[in-house]
Amino acid sequence: MSDIENMQLFEDQPIRTAWNEEDEEWYFSVVDVIGVLTDQPDSRRAAKYWSVLKIRIKRESSELTTICSQLLQIVTV
């Protein structure tokens, strides 16, 4: 599959995706989603936003529901 086929649009912005055929689940780039939702000008700033957010969550003694580096799993039902 090419990079273009692995892209989906959200509010006219590209989001990198991956389909797990075996588990029938979509994975989305957290950095891309954050970039769109927070109106970041580029992926570097979106990645920094995600990094800072994870530090704040850890500092508050909260935890992410999963250990997430840059992919978000969307489970189909």
This prediction has a pTM of 0.65
Q: How confident is the model at residue 72 (pLDDT cuts 50, 70, 90)?
A: low
- How far apart are alpha carbons 56 and 73 in whole angstroms? 21
User: What confidence score (pLDDT) does residue 5 get?
Assistant: 55
Residue 3: pLDDT band with limits 50, 70, 90: very low
pLDDT of 45 over the 90 cut: yes
Most confident range, picked from 1-5, 9-13, 43-47, 65-69: 43-47
Parse the chain into domains and list their residue ranges.
4-75
Alpha-carbon distances of 76 from 8, 10, 23, 59, 64, rounded to whole Å: 16, 18, 9, 32, 20
